[in-house]
């Protein structure tokens, strides 16, 4: 699967430690969860429990139930 083109400040930003942090928009553009416990994971993955939070997809965006 080819990687999508990425743009700074849209798909990622650099945190205070200098690491690249991918945005929710980038993850949705990529189209799948990598199970790395990403900070802005729109798929609801919890690395500590290795599970997904129940969610539903609507208009190409994911909405989480609280």
- The domain segmentation of the chain, as residue ranges, is 1-65
Residue 5, pLDDT above cutoff 90? no
Predicted TM-score (pTM) above 0.75:
no
End-to-end CA distance of the chain: 33
Provide the 8-state DSSP code for 23: -
Percent with pLDDT over 70 in the chain: 74
Q: How many angstroms separate the CA atoms of 65 and 19, rounded?
A: 30
Q: For residue 54, what pLDDT is reported?
A: 66
């Amino acid at each position: 699967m080819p990687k999508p083109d990425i743009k700074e400040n849209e798909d990622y930003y650099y945190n205070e430690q200098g690491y690249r942090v991918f945005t929710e928009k980038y993850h949705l553009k990529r189209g799948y969860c990598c199970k790395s416990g990403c900070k802005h994971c729109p798929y609801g993955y919890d690395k500590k429990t290795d599970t997904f939070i129940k969610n539903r997809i609507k208009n190409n965006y994911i909405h989480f139930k609280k």
